Structure 1
């Protein structure tokens, strides 16, 4: 019998990427448990998520509303 591994808890925040011209381009910030993330994500810290949204570099997911949870609303 194989041992059962505990599932790793998802990161609190992730950034999803799109491919454009062969390059990975940051697309949107999501909560770690959001089901709308693409298959290409990278975990980020809460501070990194706030900075990315505040500087307007990338948008927040329209489904999980990461901007509302981070206290950044337009």
Structure 2
């Protein structure tokens, strides 16, 4: 049994080292924050590096632009200001 335990330990250590070397994935450039509930409708849009909100999915700049211009219930995050970054508002 000692040989099997040693092998398991070695494999786990190799996995940890492999994970440590792997670079972190790039954050998305834009994301949409969704509400709570059955429908989970879009509520707010953010730039990719914003840390406000927690229920989101990555998206494109075009999707963010469309949501801000066509869905009155969707607002731009007041912290990261994606509307300004997209040129929808003058800063």
TM-score by length of 1: 0.86
Which protein has greater RCO, CA pairs closer than 8 Å, 6+ apart? 1
Structure 1: gaps (5+ residues): none
Question: What is aligned with 1:46?
Answer: 61
Q: CA RMSD in A?
A: 1.6
- Moved beyond 4 Å, runs of 4+: none
Q: Gaps (5+ residues) in structure 2?
A: 1-13
Q: Deviations over 1:7-64 (max 9, x none)?
A: 00100000001113x33121100001001022x1111111111111111341100110
* Higher fraction of strand: 1
Between the two proteins, the alignment pairs up a number of residues equal to 72
Q: What is the match of residue 29 of structure 1?
A: 45
